[in-house]
Amino acid sequence: MKLVLAIIQDADASALMRVLSEHAFEVTKLASTGGFLREGNTTLMIGLEDARLDELKRHVAQTCRTRIRLVAPNVPVGEQSEGLSSQPIEVPVGGAVLFVLGVQEFIKV
């Protein structure tokens, strides 16, 4: 058995939860925050049989989009020089970041 931690954008969460539920995956949803953008995102915990891992990856890839966020460069006022641009920079976010962990035991009591 594997435990997948899937970090996805909030905007993709409902669609992915619906797709996974339709395909009989069991899911737990957590609210999380990205360390770089300091914005909310969603972490899904999905415990599944090893044989379904590729199917899960396919659903995630088909559902979660890449989006571009514009971020102001963090250059303090006074340290900006003419050679340096203070224009917003483009940061791609997603589709999804997946961690796949081995599960030693899965217990329901």
Binding residues (CB under 6 A) for ligand 2BA: these are: 7, 21, 24, 26-28, 34-37, 39, 41, 45-47, 91-94, 97, 108
Tell me the closest approach of the beta carbon of residue 40 to ligand 2BA, in angstroms: 9
| Residue number, 37 or 75, with CB nearest to ligand 2BA | 37
For residue 7, the minimal CB distance to ligand 2BA (Å) is 4
Reading the block at residue 93, the tokens are: 């976010």
Residue 7 contacts by C-beta under 8 Å, 6 or more apart in sequence? 32, 34, 41, 42, 43, 96, 97, 98
